[in-house]
Amino acid sequence: MIPKVKKLAFDHIHKAAKIQFHKEVLDILEKNGLDRILPEDLIGEYRQNVAHLPELDRQYVADPLTKRLERLDDARDAAFRVIRFSLSAMSDSLDNETVRYYETAVEPMLAAFWDFTPEADYATETEVLRAFCGKVRELDFSMLAKAYVTRQQIDDLADLNDRFEAVYVERTEKRSKYESPAALVRALEDEWRILSAFVTARANDPVTDESRPTVEAFRTALNALNEHIDYYRQNYIVRGKK
C-alpha cells in the first residue's frame, strides 16, 4: 500500500483549531528538515500565510465598525423584545375592549413574529424588524397606548434598525476591499492540499543510495503528519447532532 498524507475535513474544525493545525504542520516540516528541501514557492507562501493569519484575525475582530454593529444590534434587540412583550401583555388586560382588540388585530400580527429570535443572521434580522415596524404602524395606537406602546417607540426601533443596516453595509464594503481571515484560511487549505500531495509523492520516490536520506525524511514527516491529522480528527472535529 502506497503511504500518503491523510485528508482532514477542515469544514468541521473551528477557526482557532485550523490556525493551530497549520502552525504545527510547519513545526513538523521544519523538525524533519523539509523546510530546506521543499520548493520555496510552495513552503514560503504557506509559512507567510500561517504567520499572517492570527494578526489578520485580530484586526478583523477588532474592527471598530464591528463594535458599533454589536452595540446597535443589542439596542434594537432590546427594543424589539420590550415592544413585543408589551403588545402580548394586552391579552391579560382587565379591559374587555383591549382584550378584543388584541385577539382580533394584535395577536394575528404578532403570530408572524413570535418565533423570530434576534439571534438570526444580521441581514435576516434587519428585514424582519423592518417588517415588524411596518405591521405595528398599521395598528390603532390609541389602543396600543393601553399597553404603553407608542408610535415613538416604533420609530426609535426603526431608526436603530436603519442605523444598524447603514453600518453593516459600510463594514461589508470595507471588508470587500481587503483580505478576510476566511479567505486566507481557504488559501491555506488549498496550499496544504498541494503541500501534502507533494510530501506523498516524494515519500514514494524510488530509493537509491543518493535519494535515501531525502526519501526517508519525507516518509518520517508523512508519518508525523498523519499522526497529527489523527489527533485533530479525534479531538477537534465538530460532530453534528444525531
**What pLDDT, on the 0 to 100 scale, is given for residue 222?**
95
> Could you give the C-alpha distances from 221 to 23, 32, 215, 226, 231, in angstroms and in order?
15, 6, 10, 9, 15
Q: Which residue, among 63, 26, 7, 65, has the nearest Cα to 233 in the 3D structure? A: 7
**What pLDDT, on the 0 to 100 scale, is given for residue 240?**
44
What does pTM read for this prediction? 0.53
Extract long-range pairs of 172-176: CB within 8 Å, 24+ residues apart. 174/63, 174/65, 175/60, 175/63
How far is residue 51's CA from residue 42's CA, in Å, rounded to a whole number? 15
* CA geometry: angle 109, 115, 117, nearest 5 deg: 115
Cell of 91: 391579552
**What pLDDT, on the 0 to 100 scale, is given for residue 53?**
75
SS3 letters across 172-231: HHHHCCCCCHHHHHHHHHHHHHHHHHHHHHHHCCCCCCCCHHHHHHHHHHHHHHHHHHHH
Length of the chain: 242
**What pLDDT, on the 0 to 100 scale, is given for residue 101?**
95
**What pLDDT, on the 0 to 100 scale, is given for residue 60?**
60
- pLDDT tens across 144-163, in order? 999 999 999 999 999 999 99
Domain boundaries, the chain: 10-62+180-235, 64-175
**What pLDDT, on the 0 to 100 scale, is given for residue 182?**
72
Weakly modelled stretches of the chain, pLDDT under 50: 240-242
- pLDDT tens across 175-188, in order? 665 556 677 788 88
**Is 160:72 a contact under the CB 8 Å cutoff?**
yes
